[in-house]
């Protein structure tokens, strides 16, 4: 079992508490088999609300995937208590926002897509449905009459 953290960094304009919202948030990853090195062609997703049984009744994981090249069964699980927001105080540093328990597989790419939320830094206005599929996002905070945005989103995987 290897724990791998996903770190994010971004420029937040008048925002704080950027985070994945809800147990049904989908983490889109490309994965590499630890045995043969084969990588998934497409992004696969996993969420806290989905659980698949491991072969031989050894429990369950958020995603169980069979390698197309070597046929090994690998799994990756989201560690629920590891999910944390990226705040205005974290800018511009990388911060771990989630940790995955990886068995036989490791993530190589991350696509943020949809389902994020953020708060206005001064107003506390909640911005639902933040779409980071273009790596940038902007809106307008009516309470403070200021533009808000997320720019220069970057990610990195680290051993946790």
Q: What is the pLDDT of residues 24-69, one digit of tens each?
A: 999 999 999 999 999 999 999 999 999 999 987 778 999 999 999 9
Give pairs for 64-73: CB < 8 Å, separation 24+: 65/31, 65/40, 65/105, 67/33, 67/35, 67/36, 67/38, 67/105, 68/38, 69/33, 69/36, 69/38, 70/33, 70/35, 70/36, 70/38, 72/33, 72/35, 72/36, 72/104, 73/104
- Please tell me the distance from the alpha carbon of residue 124 to that of residue 116, in angstroms, as a whole number: 16
Q: Which tens digits make up the pLDDT trace of 91-125?
A: 999 999 999 999 999 999 999 999 999 999 999 99
Name the average pLDDT for the chain. Answer: 96
End-to-end CA distance of the chain: 11
Name the residue among 60, 95, 86, 74 with its Cα closest to residue 31.
Answer: 74
Output phi, psi for 129, to 5 deg. 55, 40
pLDDT at residue 119, rounded to an integer: 98
SS3 76: strand
- Please compute, for residue 80, the number of CA atoms within 13 A of its CA located in the half-sphere on the CB side: 9
pLDDT of 55 reads 86
């Amino acid at each position: 079992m290897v724990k791998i953290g996903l770190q994010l960094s971004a420029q937040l304009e008048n925002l704080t508490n950027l985070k994945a919202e809800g147990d049904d948030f989908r983490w889109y990853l490309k994965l590499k088999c630890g045995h043969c090195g084969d990588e998934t062609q497409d992004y696969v997703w996993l969420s806290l609300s989905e659980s698949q049984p491991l072969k031989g009744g050894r429990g369950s994981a958020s995603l169980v995937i069979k390698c197309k090249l070597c046929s090994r069964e690998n799994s990756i699980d989201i560690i629920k208590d590891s999910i944390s927001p990226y705040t205005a105080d974290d800018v511009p540093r990388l911060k771990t926002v989630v940790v995955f328990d990886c068995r036989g597989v490791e993530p190589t790419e991350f696509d943020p897509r949809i389902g994020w939320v953020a708060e206005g830094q001064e107003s506390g206005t909640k911005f639902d449905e933040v779409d980071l599929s273009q790596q940038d996002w902007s809106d307008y905070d009516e309470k403070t009459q200021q533009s808000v945005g997320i720019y220069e989103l970057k990610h990195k995987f680290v051993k946790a």
